[in-house]
Structures are given as C-alpha cells and as structure tokens.
Amino acid sequence: MKKVSWILCCILLFNGMLKGKTLKVGKGQVIADITSGLKEISAGDTLVVAPGIYREKNLVIDKSIVMTGINHPILDGENTYENVSVKADWVTVDGFSIVNSGISSTTDYAGLKIYNRHNVTISNNILNDCFFGIYAQYCRNCIIKNNRLSAHQVQEQRSGNGIHCWKCDTMQITGNNVSGHRDGIYFEFVTNSIIWRNLSSGNMRYGLHFMFSNHDTYAANVFENNGAGVSVMFSNHVHMFHNTFRENWGDGSYGLLLKEISDSYIDGNIFERNTIGIFMEGGSRIEMYKNTFRGNGWALKIQASCMDITLKNNNFMSNTFDVGTNGSLVLNTFDYNYWDKYEGYDLNRDKTGDVPYRPVSMYSMIVEKNPPAMMLFHSLITTLLDKSEKVIPSLTPENLKDNHPLMKPLQL
C-alpha cells in the first residue's frame, strides 16, 4: 500500500511538472498578437489564439509547442509573406485559417512550412489562396490531417502545390481536401508514408504527383477532375488501394499515369470516365487485382516496355477501348477479368468463357501505329476491321489475351 501511494505521489508530481502552461492571446487578451505570445511561452506550453484577423508577417514557431486557434483565427500573409514557419520538433498547429501567402517565382512561399523537423502535427486548418499550401522538407514522422486547402489561381506558374513533401519519411497525409492548386499532393523523395482518405479535385496539373518515393501507400483517396489526373513515377514498392480516379477528361489527361514503377500493388481502385484510365510505361512486377474500369476512353494503355504485370479479377465496363498497346511483345498476364465486350460462351458452366478474349482491338493498334488514323474514329470500316480481326487475329499481339474471361462482372 505504501509503495502504491508512493508511486501515485510520483505520478501526480511528475504530471504537474510535465503539464505545460496554457497562454491565451489575441483580441481582448493581455497579449494581443501571436508573435509576442510565441516569445512569452516555452517548450511544452500551449498557445491558444482567439478568433480574429492577424497580420503578423512571418510567424516562426521555434519551440516545441501546441498552437491552437478558436474558431479558425485568420493568419493573413498579405500576399507577401510565408504565414507560418515551423522550425522546431514536436509542434502542433491546429484550427487556423491561413490565407494569402506570398507568391514568388524564386522562393517557395507556403501557407505553412516545416523546416527539417520531426513529429509535427498540422491539423484542422483551412488554407485559402496560398502559393504552396503545406510544405514539408526533410521531415520525419509528421501528421498532416483534416486540412482544407483551396486556391483560385488561373496560371500554373502562379500556383504552388497543395501539400508538398520533399525528402521526407514516415509522413501521414490523412483526410485533407485539396482543390485549385497546381498539384494537389506532391511527393518527391518521400519514403514509408501513407496518403489516406484525401480528396484532391480540380487542381491545375495533377491530383497527386509522386516521384522517387518508395515504400509508400495511398489508400481510399478520391482524385477527381484534375488537369492531368494522377502521376506516379520512378518509384518502387508503391501500394495503391481503393482509390477513386474520376473525370480526368481531356487531351493528355490520365486517370493514373505510371512511369517506371516496380514491385507495386494496385488493388480495388475505381477508374471512371477518364480519357485514359491507366497509362503504364516501363512498369515491372505490378499486381493489379479487383479494379473497376468504367466509361473510360482507353481503360488501360500498357506499353510494350512493361513486364510482369498481372491483371486479375478486374472489371472492364463500357470503355471505348479496353486495352491499348504499342508493340507485339507481351510479357504481362491477363486472367480472370470481366470484359463487357466479350462475346464468347460458357458451355461447361464454370463461369469463365471457353474462348480467350483479346482486349486489344485492331483499330486501337492501327491508331497506335498511325495516329492520324484517328480520323476514321467511329466509322464503318473500323468496326468491320475489328470484327474480322476478332475472328482471325493478325495485327493484334498474339499473346495479349485473357484465357479465362469471366462471364459475369465481379461484385466489387
């Protein structure tokens, strides 16, 4: 009993020591501006900011503190400054409205920038009309969660990326909503990180731009109506699960552009109404299961430079072209997919068709070899050619076929 009370005493004592102070600043408080408040408090304290508009140029957080806003106090960068710079570890910035950061072609101004730090949490903020939104460089173990970012620039040069991570590790990007920026979420040299449940829509270039970033996962995100869709390049061990790629329609716009990707998984995603659902170049060892391709121009363009791509149990429905390719060499496996254009039969009732399905149409091969042939798009002769090619394949790659096409779509 004595021992227990001794421990309890210790806990209470330490608890008192560990607990930081809470300082309230802002309109109607003793300290009216945040800058003085930041000077006043020490590491471990909490700074609570009252509602209002704060024009304090560049706020630098160089102590491990928690800074929270009540009713989203506005931090205005007056189109000139970087609103918040985080230059300490273990910092939390929560519940602010960060607006009008500076715009420059030489400096990457951001609404909030984290400089070479770890364990920083940025949550529940609203960023409006910032050049870059949330910018993390050389960071580790940071959480960027439930923020809402929007920008309204028209020119690509005058807009930065929404959430920009450069040379980071173990980042968590969760539940953010990014729109109107250049790239919604930008990853370069970021490893062991997760992008989860974000919505990236109406960005000028890519919804997600992802380069040289290995061992990352992005899951349950929605990428919608972005200028050029999503691009994932030069990475390995990338996991893409249950994302939705929607309405990326236009010349040179892709649902998902994959370039030089290896050892990755693309499972359970939905590709809807994109000019090209997935464009894959130089990929290897990618497993694609249970994806749904619906209403795309090209569901899948898989260049001959890809190898060991496995497509199994995917649904292909109402796409103009199912698969396009540029050569006769096929080192990929298509099996047990559902193709709505399949015209075969199933005599032994094993739910897979008895004749293989060739997803590459003759016309798509012709167009690949000779782009001006697009002039004959939807003309009678191309329909006839496709039909005759189905009977006797000559131009389409011999090995690109699904030996066990499913008779009914998978319930995904």
Partner 1 sequence: MIKIVKYILLDILRNKIVVAYTLFLFAITFCVFSLEDNTEKGLLTLLNLILFIVPLVSIIFSTIYIYNSSEFIELLVSQPIRRKSIWLSLFTGLAGALTLAFIIGAGIPLLIYVRSVTGLMMILNGILISVIFASLAMVAAVRTRDKAKGIGFSILLWLFFSLVYDGFVLFLLFQFSDYPLEKAMIFISALNPIDLGRILILLKMDVSALMGYTGAVFKEFYGTEKGLIVSFSAMILWILLPLLYSLRKFNRKDL
**Minimum CB–partner distance for residue 382 and partner 1 (Å):** 8
Residue 331 φ then ψ, to 5°: -115, 25
In the block, tokens 């009993």 appear at 1
Task: Decide whether 245 or 298 has the Cβ nearer to partner 1.
Answer: 298
Shortest spacing between CB 320 and partner 1, in angstroms: 6
CB of 124 to partner 1, least distance (A): 38
Q: Rank residues 130 and 366 by Cβ distance to partner 1 and give the closer one.
A: 366
Binding site for partner 1 (CB under 8 A): 249-251, 253, 275, 295, 297-298, 318, 320, 366-367, 369-384
| H/E segment holding residue 92 | strand 92-94
CB of 134 to partner 1, least distance (A): 32
Choose between 347 and 380: whose C-beta lies nearer to partner 1. 380
Least CB distance from residue 191 to partner 1, whole Å?
A: 35
Whole-angstrom distance, CA of residue 233 vs CA of residue 166: 15
Whether 111 contacts 161, CB under 8 Å: no
Pick 22 or 379: Cβ nearer partner 1: 379
Q: Which is nearer to partner 1, 90 or 249 (CB)?
A: 249
Total Cβ atoms within 10 A of residue 253? 20
Neighbours of 373 (CB within 10 A): 14
| Residue 218 vs 245, nearer CB to partner 1 | 245
- Residue 310, H or E segment: strand 307-312
DSSP per position, 318-387? S-SEEEE-SSS--EEEEES-EETT-----TT-SSB-SS-B--S-HHHHHHHH-GGGGGGTT-HHHHHHHH
In the complex with partner 1, which residue's Cβ is closer, 246 or 401?
A: 246
119 φ/ψ angles, rounded to the nearest 5 degrees: 50, 50
Find the shortest distance in angstroms from Cβ 114 to partner 1: 39
Q: Give the shortest CB-193-to-partner 1 separation in angstroms.
A: 33
CB nearer to partner 1: give 212 or 249: 249
Minimal distance, residue 375 CB to partner 1, in Å = 5
DSSP string, 137-161: ES-BS-EEES-EEE---SSGGG---
How many Å apart are CA 257 and CA 350, to the nearest integer?
Answer: 35
Structure tokens at 187: 């990853």
